[in-house]
A and B are shown apart, each in its own frame.
Chain A
């Protein structure tokens, strides 16, 4: 049967999460998924790699910079609430308990600052996903983040373009605070300042 491959649009973050979860074992051999969506900022997928090390997998459907910020928010939270992760690790009968999990950022394009992140004290991997239709079935291809070098100005510009709500304290990413809470225009206006 001929293989028909074409690019395709992914509907929403939920579908992307599902596709990443189903494809994780194909590019991280021996990985074990501990939690499909940790209830912490960035809502990462929580996995163990083949070395029994914990990894937080974050992603964003539309913005590489936003994916990165989500990941950094997740790491921040974990570092501040290490006891919670210890609980999860204990519950999962992990062999080795790390001080901090590593981070994998899966983005629709090159992640700003990827080269710099490779030197970070915490392991941060960046990947790029390509949504594909294979014989009519939606899937994703996750590939290494090989990107042209960016100047510092370009990096800053990309990060500035990330959704401001994520830059502040938004957890879910693509929607504004008021979209999430379903407030009327009048209510939105009221809660924009103290």
Chain B
């Protein structure tokens, strides 16, 4: 089953080093150096946040970036997505032989070949996928702007400690306004720095407040270019 993906290796960074030499040719470059990998897993609280990822995808496109959503097959099934809503090709984590570097490479290279080059491929994920996060080296966490939301995000970051993550981006999702979301973000950043000795990076804000809506009725979304700049 999907949930049974191996527990995190405590030597994640070592393993990344081990497999990286397989990707050092130009063709492989995007899959090896963490900051240049165009795949960006977005960790959701639940499948209802998929709409937010779609909005972020649209916003990145409006900002002039080429952005796609790539679904993980097992996640699509858990999210009850209809076939018409699914965007193919999907990645099946079950099919990946993580110990076979060629297989891993072919899987992701295949997606790029079929989708076409893009600045970023957003991958919605419902729970922590150690192997995937290790491989890509960065994630985005959609974080509710509440005490519970930042506690949950903190707990996730703590749980991610064994991963070889270079960057953790936080996108705050608020029903109120940017100021409150920013205060929650700073609190989370303080906590992560104080207790875990890590840094997080603000990836932007999604404000789901009627009063903050844009003239076309859409939610206010301020997605930081850092989401894309970090991987170009």
Chain A residues with CB below 8 A from B7, complex form: none
Chain A 147-184 interface residues, beta-carbon cutoff 8 Å to B: 168-170, 177-178, 181-184
Beta-carbon contact of A191 and B48 below 8 Å: no
For B155, the closest partner residue in chain A by CB is A181
Least distance between A106 CB and chain B CB atoms (Å) = 23
Chain A residues with CB below 8 A from B46, complex form: 39-40
Beta-carbon contact of A178 and B82 below 8 Å: no
The secondary structure that dominates the B interface is helix
Least distance between B213 CB and chain A CB atoms (Å) = 16
Beta-carbon contact of A88 and B80 below 8 Å: yes
A81 to B80, CA, bound (A): 14
A87 to B148, CA, bound (A): 28
The secondary structure that dominates the A interface is loop
Give the interface of A toward B (CB within 8 A): 39-40, 81, 84, 87-88, 90-91, 168-170, 177-178, 181-184, 186-187, 190-194
Q: List 26 A-B contacts (CB under 8 A).
A: A81-B48, A84-B47, A87-B80, A88-B80, A90-B82, A91-B80, A168-B148, A169-B146, A177-B147, A181-B154, A182-B155, A183-B155, A184-B195, A187-B154, A190-B190, A190-B194, A190-B195, A191-B150, A191-B151, A191-B187, A191-B191, A192-B147, A193-B147, A194-B147, A194-B184, A194-B187
Query: Told that A194-B183, A194-B184 touch, could you supply 13 new A-B pairs with CB distance under 8 A?
Result: A39-B46, A81-B48, A87-B80, A87-B81, A87-B82, A90-B82, A168-B148, A181-B151, A183-B154, A183-B155, A191-B150, A191-B187, A194-B187
